[in-house]
Amino acid sequence: MITLENLIRVGGVCHFGILTASATLPFVLNWRKSLGALPKIERQLVLAWASFIVLVIIGFGAVSLAHADELAKGSALARAICGFIAFFWSFRLVWQFFVYEVRDVIEANTRWLWVGYHGLTVVFLYFAVVYAMAALR
Protein backbone atom coordinates (compact mmCIF):
# COMPACT_ATOMS: atom_id res chain seq x y z
CA MET A 1 0.00 0.00 0.00
CA ILE A 2 1.25 3.47 -0.84
CA THR A 3 1.43 5.46 2.36
CA LEU A 4 3.50 8.49 3.27
CA GLU A 5 5.44 6.27 5.66
CA ASN A 6 6.34 3.88 2.82
CA LEU A 7 7.24 6.76 0.49
CA ILE A 8 9.62 8.05 3.18
CA ARG A 9 11.13 4.56 3.56
CA VAL A 10 11.71 4.44 -0.20
CA GLY A 11 13.32 7.87 0.14
CA GLY A 12 15.62 6.47 2.82
CA VAL A 13 16.74 3.65 0.55
CA CYS A 14 17.20 6.07 -2.35
CA HIS A 15 19.45 8.29 -0.21
CA PHE A 16 21.85 5.38 0.16
CA GLY A 17 21.45 4.57 -3.54
CA ILE A 18 22.57 8.03 -4.65
CA LEU A 19 25.70 7.66 -2.53
CA THR A 20 26.64 4.77 -4.81
CA ALA A 21 26.29 7.04 -7.82
CA SER A 22 28.16 9.82 -6.03
CA ALA A 23 31.09 7.49 -5.44
CA THR A 24 31.75 7.50 -9.20
CA LEU A 25 31.94 11.31 -9.41
CA PRO A 26 35.64 11.69 -8.56
CA PHE A 27 36.51 9.25 -11.35
CA VAL A 28 34.09 10.60 -13.97
CA LEU A 29 35.31 14.17 -13.37
CA ASN A 30 38.94 13.09 -12.90
CA TRP A 31 39.30 14.84 -9.55
CA ARG A 32 42.87 13.62 -9.13
CA LYS A 33 43.93 15.73 -12.11
CA SER A 34 41.51 18.64 -11.61
CA LEU A 35 42.05 19.06 -7.88
CA GLY A 36 45.76 18.41 -8.22
CA ALA A 37 46.13 21.83 -9.82
CA LEU A 38 44.68 23.56 -6.75
CA PRO A 39 46.67 24.72 -3.75
CA LYS A 40 46.60 22.14 -0.95
CA ILE A 41 44.15 24.05 1.29
CA GLU A 42 41.65 24.49 -1.55
CA ARG A 43 41.89 20.79 -2.41
CA GLN A 44 41.31 19.96 1.26
CA LEU A 45 38.29 22.27 1.42
CA VAL A 46 36.66 20.65 -1.62
CA LEU A 47 37.21 17.18 -0.15
CA ALA A 48 35.89 18.29 3.25
CA TRP A 49 32.75 19.81 1.68
CA ALA A 50 32.16 16.65 -0.34
CA SER A 51 32.57 14.57 2.84
CA PHE A 52 30.12 16.75 4.75
CA ILE A 53 27.54 16.38 1.98
CA VAL A 54 27.97 12.60 2.10
CA LEU A 55 27.42 12.66 5.87
CA VAL A 56 24.25 14.74 5.47
CA ILE A 57 22.88 12.31 2.88
CA ILE A 58 23.71 9.36 5.15
CA GLY A 59 21.83 11.15 7.92
CA PHE A 60 18.80 11.77 5.70
CA GLY A 61 18.74 8.10 4.71
CA ALA A 62 19.26 6.78 8.23
CA VAL A 63 16.59 9.02 9.78
CA SER A 64 14.16 8.17 6.97
CA LEU A 65 14.63 4.43 7.42
CA ALA A 66 14.76 4.36 11.21
CA HIS A 67 11.93 6.84 11.81
CA ALA A 68 9.68 6.81 8.75
CA ASP A 69 6.65 6.25 10.94
CA GLU A 70 7.46 9.30 13.09
CA LEU A 71 8.26 11.48 10.09
CA ALA A 72 4.94 10.54 8.51
CA LYS A 73 2.93 11.34 11.67
CA GLY A 74 3.64 15.04 11.28
CA SER A 75 4.85 16.26 14.67
CA ALA A 76 6.42 19.70 14.64
CA LEU A 77 9.92 18.20 14.71
CA ALA A 78 9.08 15.67 11.98
CA ARG A 79 7.67 18.44 9.79
CA ALA A 80 10.79 20.55 10.37
CA ILE A 81 13.10 17.67 9.44
CA CYS A 82 11.06 16.81 6.35
CA GLY A 83 10.89 20.48 5.41
CA PHE A 84 14.66 20.77 5.62
CA ILE A 85 15.16 17.62 3.53
CA ALA A 86 12.66 18.93 0.94
CA PHE A 87 14.42 22.31 0.86
CA PHE A 88 17.86 20.67 0.55
CA TRP A 89 16.81 18.63 -2.49
CA SER A 90 14.78 21.43 -4.04
CA PHE A 91 17.83 23.67 -3.82
CA ARG A 92 19.89 20.87 -5.36
CA LEU A 93 17.43 20.73 -8.27
CA VAL A 94 17.80 24.48 -8.82
CA TRP A 95 21.54 23.96 -9.17
CA GLN A 96 20.93 20.95 -11.42
CA PHE A 97 18.77 22.96 -13.83
CA PHE A 98 20.23 26.46 -13.68
CA VAL A 99 23.84 26.35 -12.50
CA TYR A 100 25.66 23.13 -13.39
CA GLU A 101 27.08 22.91 -16.91
CA VAL A 102 27.12 19.17 -17.57
CA ARG A 103 26.61 18.92 -21.30
CA ASP A 104 30.32 18.57 -22.15
CA VAL A 105 30.90 15.97 -19.45
CA ILE A 106 27.86 13.92 -20.40
CA GLU A 107 28.57 14.05 -24.14
CA ALA A 108 32.22 13.16 -23.61
CA ASN A 109 31.31 10.00 -21.68
CA THR A 110 29.03 7.03 -22.09
CA ARG A 111 25.29 6.76 -22.46
CA TRP A 112 25.25 5.35 -18.92
CA LEU A 113 26.37 8.72 -17.61
CA TRP A 114 23.46 10.40 -19.41
CA VAL A 115 21.02 7.84 -17.96
CA GLY A 116 22.57 8.23 -14.51
CA TYR A 117 22.42 12.01 -14.58
CA HIS A 118 18.75 12.09 -15.57
CA GLY A 119 17.95 9.24 -13.20
CA LEU A 120 19.42 11.24 -10.33
CA THR A 121 17.32 14.22 -11.39
CA VAL A 122 14.19 12.07 -11.01
CA VAL A 123 15.34 10.86 -7.58
CA PHE A 124 16.07 14.43 -6.42
CA LEU A 125 12.58 15.44 -7.57
CA TYR A 126 11.13 12.46 -5.68
CA PHE A 127 12.89 13.63 -2.50
CA ALA A 128 11.65 17.19 -2.91
CA VAL A 129 8.03 16.13 -3.46
CA VAL A 130 7.76 13.37 -0.84
CA TYR A 131 9.46 15.27 1.95
CA ALA A 132 7.51 18.45 1.10
CA MET A 133 4.29 16.43 1.37
CA ALA A 134 5.39 15.21 4.78
CA ALA A 135 6.37 18.71 5.89
CA LEU A 136 3.12 20.32 4.75
CA ARG A 137 0.62 17.75 6.04
- The predicted-structure confidence for 64-97, as pLDDT tens digits, reads as follows 999 999 999 999 999 999 999 999 999 999 998 8
| CA R_g for the chain | 17
Rounded to the nearest 10 degrees, how much is the dihedral formed by the CA atoms of 81, 131, 6, 13? -80
pLDDT attached to residue 28: 77
Q: Above 90 in pLDDT, residue 111?
A: no
Whole-model pTM above 0.95?
Answer: no
pLDDT-derived band at 107, boundaries 50, 70, 90? low
Residue 9 CA, distance from chain mean position? 15
